[in-house]
Amino acid sequence: MKKKLFIHTFGCKINQYESQVIREKYILESYIIVDKIELADVIIINSCSVTNHADKQCNQLIKKILLNNPITKIILTGCYAKVSCKQILQEFPDIIIKTKDEMLEGLNQEIKSFDNHSRAFLKIQDGCNSFCSYCIIPYARSKMWSKPVENIIAEINNLIDNGYVEIVLTGIHIGKYDSGISYLLSQIFKNIKKDFRIRLSSIEINEINNDLIKLMKQEPIRLCNHLHIPLQSGSDKILKDMNRKYTSKDFSEKLINLKTYFPDISITTDVICGFPTETLQDFADTYMFLEENEFSRLHVFPYSKRNGTKAFDLTKVYDNGDLKPRVDKLLKLDVILRNNYHLKFIGTKRKAVPLRNRQALTDNYLTIKNVDRQEGIFDVIVG
């Protein structure tokens, strides 16, 4: 009798992609993929460890499975499994831990579909050696790897043929792609003459160069008018403490340059609130920077202490009660910035792809509701 498999994914686009690689592998091995934990003989948890909260979520799921499905085989993989293996096995000695490399060993890391998604994420790169002082990921994914250009082109062709017209290129640090992200994009556009578009998942400010800007100008339909550029802080002191490789002035000047070329561009960003050395003035500098530079969306993260990082032993300069009000203030600013950006396009026509629940996503990252079109790239009026 065929075994039944359930896969639960925590975390980033890379994890979601790797879960799909694993899913397709097990389907080829005659497993049945089920959508409920209680139906599974085998459960694979693809874990994240970017924050303490991510670790806790994973532990809670394991406890739930062991309580309700005690005979089910549990396989834990992903970043949490890599950086906290000993502690996990002390608490859960009966589960199986496999590193990402063990799970993906012998596989081409290519997919033909993207389960329960209308857009497809495509992993082009892995690994990070930047060692930002707050980040555990370089310890979980230290090996630098880039997928060959020809493999990426073949994978995109397959995904387009299977109905995915937006491909999101993703990686831990895609700006470190071996031959350069601009070269990769140029080869994709040169070799694929189909109806599709590319969105970059995230790119560092220092890696946005003239070649990329030139490509964005040349390919206004096939390269989305949206860049996600992690800021993390608007305070130069905190950026230095974080071991980020730019100043607030560097960042702002690059944004001005981008908006000169692309007035409609959507710039989204990540910001960490409550880094240990963040004073009230540092927070005020960050808030002002975000407000003045008119980002279209903020992803706000409270600082999470990660054992093994350089920031782990830093002493906080603020009281614990100061963090939530700062986070809340940035979340309120996010709502304002999103609304302000959206209002600029009311009544205009944009290129969009379908999402679930009668929604669509425009090239500049606006979500449009009550859309009937369910396939392809199409024109939509922003409402």
The pLDDT tens digits of the residues spanning 324-364 come to: 999 999 999 999 999 999 999 999 999 999 998 899 999 99
Helix (H) or strand (E) holding 124: strand 120-126
Are the C-beta atoms of 110 and 151 separated by less than 8 Å?
yes
DSSP class of residue 232 equals: B
Rg (CA), the chain: 21
Cα of first residue to Cα of last residue in the chain, in angstroms, is 52
Predicted TM-score (pTM) of the model is 0.95
Side-chain half-sphere exposure of 96, counting CA atoms within 13 A: 11
On the question of pLDDT at 307 being above 80, the answer is yes
**d(Cα 30, Cα 17) in Å, to the nearest integer?**
20
Instruction: Output the pLDDT for position 118.
Output: 86
Instruction: Output the pLDDT for position 375.
Output: 87
Averaged over 182-186, what is the pLDDT? 98
Domains of the chain: 4-104 (3.40.50.12160), 120-343 (3.80.30.20), 349-381 (no CATH)
Instruction: Output the pLDDT for position 205.
Output: 98
**d(Cα 41, Cα 31) in Å, to the nearest integer?**
10
**d(Cα 162, Cα 142) in Å, to the nearest integer?**
33
- The amino acid occupying position 217 is K
The pLDDT tens digits of the residues spanning 268-299 come to: 999 999 999 999 999 999 999 999 999 999 99
Query: For residue 104, which of 9, 43, 23 has the smallest C-alpha distance?
Result: 23
Averaged over 356-379, what is the pLDDT? 93
Instruction: Output the pLDDT for position 116.
Output: 75
The pLDDT tens digits of the residues spanning 29-73 come to: 999 999 999 999 999 999 999 999 999 999 999 999 999 988 999
On the question of pLDDT at 107 being above 80, the answer is no
**d(Cα 351, Cα 365) in Å, to the nearest integer?**
10
Instruction: Output the pLDDT for position 103.
Output: 87
* Per-residue pLDDT band at 82 (split at 50, 70, 90): very high
Averaged over 197-225, what is the pLDDT? 97
- The amino acid occupying position 380 is V
Are the C-beta atoms of 266 and 338 separated by less than 8 Å?
no
**What residues form DSSP beta bridges with 273?**
302
**d(Cα 236, Cα 282) in Å, to the nearest integer?**
8
